[in-house]
Amino acid sequence: MIKENISLQPFNTFGIDVNARYFASFQSEENVFEILEQQLGESQSPLILGGGSNILFTKHVDGLVLKNEIGGIDLVHQDQDYFYVKAGAGVNWHSLVMHCIDNNYAGIENLALIPGNAGASPMQNIGAYGVEIKDVFHSLEAIHIHDKTKVILNNKECHFGYRESVFKNIYKNQFVITSVTYKLKKVPQYNISYGAIPQELERMGVKDLSIKDVALAVMNIRNSKLPNPKIIGNAGSFFKNPEISVSQFDQLKLNFPNIVGHATENNLIKVAAGWLIEQSGWKGYREGDAGCHDKQALVLVNHGNASGSQILELSEKIINSVNDKFGIELSCEVNII
């Protein structure tokens, strides 16, 4: 059922109070087709909301917002090396990670506590601590909004990049993702060299490593420095870590010997955006109710009643400041509406 003039404040982790002119939730593919049939004649694509954890509303939505609530986690196939696990697009991401750990499905333990739902995981190619969705993604099911047809896309067809996929460019606003199938290992291949994971595992006194240990280490690290959206409005990392050439990085290292960066597969250096922002003086900064988190500079926060425009304005000041100091242009990971 399509409702009118609904507040989206409960449906976005920044807690921005804007309204949707029309709003509906769906729990199945059949629901999606029914809603799309009601929207005949509407030229504007509906806005699809999952967990609302990677979005910043800067204005009211003068159209239809669809809330994805398709549930279910199923082991649909297995072979000698892999489990194939299918999740409804509305499944909470962290719940999916914990379900896989409980069943010894290995591969997404490094992605524990990332906010949002399963449907957003391929859209953003979410990643953390050395693992990205493209590493474990098998396929997804989606419904084309205008053609009203169902499609299945494999890993190659999603054109994954760093926090990037086909759904953020040529297929933007064209599909409703209904399920995602992940290809998870039967024998774990641990990825524990990234960030503070080795130190945290040592602090935990881990002797016989398991995927649960890795997830707990990641959760401890995230909880120590990232704000809980239920307590303070935020969307996790607001900016992407920029990638620059080796020569540019070497040049910056002359002036900033402590600059933090890691080599990538495509012979670039991925620089820690949080470090750049902190060195530019923004960590803990607050302007009204819009602020930069005091423990992790990558995270912008809503201290209470900030508007989306105020948070966006702060992000633009940070981008200009970092560019002036380092000659590096940050880009937003969060989707701006």
* pLDDT at residue number 337: 93
Confirm whether 203 is a catalytic residue: no
pLDDT for 226 equals 87
Q: Helix, strand or coil for residue 323?
A: helix
Q: What's the structural domain count of the chain?
A: 3
Write down the pLDDT at residue 264: 85
The one catalytic residue in 163, 165, 222, 307 is 163
The answer to whether residue 320 sits within a structural domain is: yes
- Indicate whether 63 and 140 sit together in one domain: no
Residue 262 scores a pLDDT above 60: yes
Whether the Cβ atoms of residue 91 and residue 117 lie closer than 8 Å to each other: yes
| Same domain? 93 vs 64 | no
Distance CA 278, CA 266 (A): 27
219 found inside a domain: no
Which tokens go with 1?
A: 């059922």
Coil, helix or strand at residue 47:
strand
Q: Is the pLDDT score of 85 beyond 90?
A: yes
Do 237 and 179 share a structural domain? Answer: no
Residue 155 domain-assigned (yes or no): yes
Among the options 53, 121, 165, 237, which is catalytic? 237
Are 109 and 160 found together in one domain? yes
89 and 51 in a common domain: no
Q: Which two tokens stand for residue 258?
A: 């402590």
99 located within any domain: yes
| 31 and 105 inside one domain | no
Percentage of the residues of the chain whose pLDDT score is greater than 70: 99
CA distance 207 to 217: 13
Q: Same domain for 10 and 78?
A: no
Mean pLDDT of 104-120: 95
Asked whether 131 and 188 are in contact (CB, 8 A), the reply is: no
Is 267 within the bounds of a domain? yes
Task: Answer with the one of 68, 88, 110 that is the final residue of a domain.
Answer: 68
Give the lowest-confidence range in 7-16, 44-53, 266-275: 44-53
Structure tokens at 135: 């590493």
SS3 string, 252-280, reads HHHHCCCCCEEECCCCCEEECHHHHHHHC
State the alpha helices, DSSP H only, in the chain.
29-38, 93-102, 120-124, 197-204, 211-225, 246-255, 273-279, 308-326
> pLDDT of 276-324, one tens digit each?
999 999 999 999 999 999 999 999 999 999 999 999 999 999 999 999 9
Q: What is the CATH number of the domain that holds 41?
A: 3.30.43.10
User: Is 86 in the same domain as 40?
Assistant: no
* Residue 165 a catalytic site member: no
Among 152, 185, 218, identify where a domain stops: 185
DSSP 80-132: SSEEEEEEETTSBHHHHHHHHHHTT-BS-GGGTT--SBTTHHHHHT-EETTEE
CA distances from 111 to 132, 216, 243 (A): 8, 11, 21
232: left (phi over 0), alpha (psi -120 to 50) or beta: beta
pLDDT digits (tens, 9 = 90+) for 157-197: 999 988 889 998 899 889 999 999 999 999 999 989 887 89
Range of the domain at 61: 3-68
Based on the fold, state whether residues 251 and 325 are members of the same structural domain. Answer: yes
Q: What is the DSSP letter of 233?
A: E
Does 266 map to a domain?
yes
Statement to judge: residues 237 and 314 lie in one domain: yes
Read off the amino acid at residue 112.
A
Query: Which pLDDT tens digit goes with each residue over 15-69?
Result: 999 999 999 999 999 999 999 888 655 667 899 999 898 899 999 999 899 999 9
- Structure confidence at residue 44 (pLDDT): 73
The residue annotated as part of the active site, out of 109, 132, 200, 333, is: 333
The pLDDT, as a whole number, for residue 230 is: 86
Residue 46 is classified by DSSP as P
**CATH number assigned to the domain comprising residue 241:** 3.90.78.10
Q: Which of 120, 155, 185 is the last residue of a domain?
A: 185
- The mean pLDDT of 200-221, rounded to a whole number, is 94
The residue written with tokens 């990538």 in the block is 264
Q: Report the chain's mean pLDDT, rounded to a whole number.
A: 93
Q: Are 248 and 304 in a shared domain?
A: yes
pLDDT over threshold 60, residue 254: yes
163 is catalytic: yes
Does residue 200 lie in a domain region?
Answer: no
CATH of the domain at 92: 3.30.465.10
Is residue 81 located within the same domain as residue 174?
Answer: yes
